[in-house]
A and B are shown apart, each in its own frame.
Chain A
Amino acid sequence: MKKQVSAILAASMAASMLVACGGSTSSAATSTATAESTSTASSEAAPAESTADAGQAADITLWTYPIGKWGDSESVDALLADFNAQYPDIHVTVEYLDYTNGDDQVNTAIEGGSAPDIVMEGPERLVANWGAKGLMADLSDLWTDDQKADISASVEAACKDSSGAYYEFPLCMTAHCMAINKTVFEAAGAMQYVDAENHTWTTDNFLKAVQAVYDSGKTDVGAIYCSGQGGDQGTRAIINNMYGGTFTDAAHTKYTADSAENVKAIETLYNQDGINFDASINGGEEITLFRNGTLQMAFCWNIAQQTNADNSAAGTTNSGDDILFMAFPTESGDPALCGGIWGFGVFDNGDENKIAASKTFINFMANSDETAKAVKTSTYFSVKNSLSDLYKDDEVMNEYQKLMPYLGDYYQVTPGWAEARTAWWNMLQQVGQGTDVTTAVTEFCNTANAAASAS
């Protein structure tokens, strides 16, 4: 009897293995709770001014990823209160996503026919993913000539697909960069290689600076982190910038990381004293190691890191060393930084009234007097040239603005992006384990381009 019971138990356990990979609908389900808030201001606030759209009445949903304080209900509620003061009949329910489970939540909702009306994120999701699958409403009518004149061509290009349909209306952006421990660099005599005023340096000077810091006794200068995809824009950027390589072609149809320039950059980094290809850390962990003084430079950095004051004063390491943000080194002196562009997309749920109300919401947030407040809520920079002085009273933000002209091609919209990201850090791991660089990057491109072709 005991054996029969044991047999049944074993069979049940074996069967339960299958449960984890059920059908497509159930498998994407997530148990992660989402914070939810509903704007209640609509019933209380009187409309401040009436417009032609003010008569719209709709209940719409906004799902937002944690883009600065757009992930904070208090901040978003303040924006919604302003919105409802003008549009009292449009009720916006907000759900806050995180980057760990957010995609699963959205995809589950899509599969279940309950996608949100508005989603706030970047072109790699809104355009290259959901837009390419025909799930998004075209926002061309929001892209008036005035808007196009006020927003850079590269940002505009990222927000539309090859057919010219716009699936994102952008609100804010930032440039990802790197950072150095200025105090350590000074002690090592390495600041002579750095243009601290413009936050730039040449590839040659970058390598000299790393060597100088290494020779000063700080043997862990930087890490090409590759345990996962977290912060992978940093490793792509350092490699692409050093000798002018590219990650994809200009048309965003194929991956070009196997170019001679990229191979040279990877080989140079691999052979450089003080630079370690580390498969045990990701971008977030690299930042931690940089902040605690273990590493002397971070390739995963942006304005949010520069202004972070969780463990020490903003712009300093945990031990009080000064942090200087830097563009990635190039031979030409003209870096191409990876950018983040965040804005709104509208799911085409078949309800024209809701789509119209969603566009009204987007217009209010991204194209009105409220836009400055909405951008500041993101803690990043406006995509609009007319709002370039948004942070004129903030010294750090104003200084960081110097990097914004270096924003490069937004190649994250290339098909097969998810597979390419994974193949990238796997390629770096291979290099770190001693695989020939040309072999590794060729394999990377084969994998990524196969995924691009299949998409």
Chain B
Amino acid sequence: MAHTAVAKKQSEPKMSRALVRQETIAGYLFLLPSLIFFIGFVIYPMVMCIFTSFFDSSMNRADVFIGLQNYVELFHDSVFLGALRNTLIIVVVSVPITCIFSLWVASAIVNMPPWATSLFRVIFYLPVVTGSVAVTVVWKWMFNNYYGIFNYLGKSMGLLDQNINWLGDTRYALACIILILLTTSVGQPIVLYVSALGNVDQSLVEAAEVDGATKLQAFWKIKWPQIMPTTLYILVITTINSFQCFALIQLLTSGGPNHSTDTIMYYIYYTAFKLYRYGYGNAMGVILAIMIAVLSAVQFKVTRSD
């Protein structure tokens, strides 16, 4: 009996190692499909993108190595520089507005009765779950030069003398794009902020208020630090979404009028899939990725120091 017990004790580590190995193998096997997919559809194209950006790469023609020429050309391309400017305008305007508006709405609805909070969450989240094409087409109707509701209301209220070609006029087109982008961007941040604010430790807030803190002080000193991770996430996601603004442009303006709504993502698409200049398009992709990475790093740095 004692011999059996000793033998069992001795064999336990051996079985455990086998079990660990077995579980490890099983784990990797479970991981394998995702890994293959990730390598095949993310890592490989990413590497190819960087690699191809150093080539004059076009459809049906052998690639020619040209070093950094695509990158040099980029910074002499007035359309690209215009697209870069437009993209930055979209980011600079839409990201702060999205974050501030979302936080304001979330703060306003978080303390409402649960049914009211849910109702507002649904209302603000609807544009997110509605098909982007459908939403965009509706906006296109509303901005229509001839029968759009904005022109109708503007003229009815005496604000406009004549119809404005909202999407066909360089003075208004980009602003219209930003407005639409905002309406489709705020849903998710509001839901996240409502959740984050709901998780704030109320005892700390109440203690601060008992000690004489104002609402603003309670928010700034207690709630804000606690929702900082959520804010960071929203900042990063909104920034990336703003940089990636493409569908709106494709569906509404094709970059016009007169390139006034070109964004880098749209110009990448146009260059790569309309002109079939893959190398040049990939160089833009690399620049855009670097910009997003740098901006995200800055956001991390700033929010971390907070």
B257 within 8 A of partner (CB): yes
Nearest CB in chain A: distance from B162 CB, A: 9
**Of the residues B59, B229, B274, contact of A24 by C-beta under 8 Å:** B59
Are A18 and B146 neighbours in the complex by a CB distance under 8 Å?
no
In the bound assembly, the distance between CA atoms of A432 and B256 in angstroms comes to 11
Residues in B whose Cβ lies below 8 Å from that of A133? 60-61
Residues in B whose Cβ lies below 8 Å from that of A18? 45-46, 49-50, 285-286, 289
User: Would A227 and B254 be within 8 Å (CB), given that A3-B304, A294-B147 are in contact?
Assistant: yes
Nearest CB in chain B: distance from A332 CB, A: 33
Nearest CB in chain A: distance from B2 CB, A: 47
Are A17 and B259 neighbours in the complex by a CB distance under 8 Å?
no
Q: Give A402-436 interface residues, CB cut-off 8 Å to B.
A: 418-419, 422, 425-426, 429-430, 432-433, 435
Are A280 and B166 neighbours in the complex by a CB distance under 8 Å?
yes
Q: Mark B63-102, 1 if CB is under 8 A from A, else 0.
A: 1000000000000000000000000000000000000000
In the bound assembly, the distance between CA atoms of A24 and B41 in angstroms comes to 13
Closest 8 A-B residue pairs measured CB to CB?
Answer: A22-B45, A23-B48, A280-B168, A279-B257, A21-B285, A279-B168, A280-B167, A10-B296
Residues in B whose Cβ lies below 8 Å from that of A135? 60
B263 within 8 A of partner (CB): no
CB nearest neighbor in A for B63: A24
Residues in A whose Cβ lies below 8 Å from that of B167? 227, 279-280
Are A27 and B272 neighbours in the complex by a CB distance under 8 Å?
yes
Among B115-123, B185-193, B275-283, which stretch is in contact with chain A? B275-283
Are A2 and B229 neighbours in the complex by a CB distance under 8 Å?
yes
SS class of chain B's interface: helix, strand, loop or mixed? helix
Are B256 and A227 neighbours in the complex by a CB distance under 8 Å?
yes
Among B21-29, B200-208, B232-240, which stretch is in contact with chain A? B232-240
Chosen A-B contacts, 25 in total, with CB atoms closer than 8 Å, are: A10-B240, A10-B296, A13-B236, A13-B240, A14-B240, A16-B42, A18-B49, A19-B46, A19-B49, A20-B265, A21-B278, A22-B45, A24-B52, A24-B278, A26-B48, A28-B59, A104-B273, A227-B167, A278-B168, A280-B143, A280-B253, A289-B146, A418-B274, A418-B275, A432-B258
In the bound assembly, the distance between CA atoms of A169 and B278 in angstroms comes to 32
Nearest CB in chain B: distance from A116 CB, A: 15
Residues in B whose Cβ lies below 8 Å from that of A22? 44-46, 48-49, 282
User: Would A17 and B300 be within 8 Å (CB), given that A23-B48, A280-B167, A281-B145 are in contact?
Assistant: no
**Of the residues B237, B256, B270, contact of A279 by C-beta under 8 Å:** B256
User: Would A220 and B292 be within 8 Å (CB), given that A27-B272, A280-B167, A280-B253 are in contact?
Assistant: no
A6 within 8 A of partner (CB): yes
In the bound assembly, the distance between CA atoms of A16 and B236 in angstroms comes to 14
In the bound assembly, the distance between CA atoms of A130 and B276 in angstroms comes to 13
Most-contacted residue by chain B among A7, A18, A27, A226 (CB, 10 A): A18
Residues in B whose Cβ lies below 8 Å from that of A220? 146
B183 within 8 A of partner (CB): no
Please list the residues of chain A having a beta carbon within 8 angstroms of any beta carbon in chain B: 2-3, 6-7, 9-11, 13-24, 26-28, 104, 107, 110-111, 130, 133, 135, 220, 226-228, 276, 278-281, 289, 294-295, 418-419, 422, 425-426, 429-430, 432-433, 435
In the bound assembly, the distance between CA atoms of A133 and B60 in angstroms comes to 7
Q: Mark B284-306, 1 if CB is under 8 A from A, else 0.
A: 11101100110010001000100
**Of the residues A24, A228, A289, contact of B254 by C-beta under 8 Å:** A228
Residues in B whose Cβ lies below 8 Å from that of A17? 240, 243-244, 285, 288-289, 292
B194 within 8 A of partner (CB): no
B170 within 8 A of partner (CB): yes
Are B166 and A23 neighbours in the complex by a CB distance under 8 Å?
no
Residues in A whose Cβ lies below 8 Å from that of B286? 18
Residues in B whose Cβ lies below 8 Å from that of A24? 52, 57-59, 63, 278
CB nearest neighbor in A for B40: A26
Are B257 and A433 neighbours in the complex by a CB distance under 8 Å?
yes
Are B236 and A10 neighbours in the complex by a CB distance under 8 Å?
yes
Q: Give B142-178 interface residues, CB cut-off 8 Å to A.
A: 143-147, 165-170
Are A23 and B278 neighbours in the complex by a CB distance under 8 Å?
yes
User: Would A14 and B272 be within 8 Å (CB), given that A28-B59, A280-B145, A432-B257 are in contact?
Assistant: no
Residues in A whose Cβ lies below 8 Å from that of B41? 19
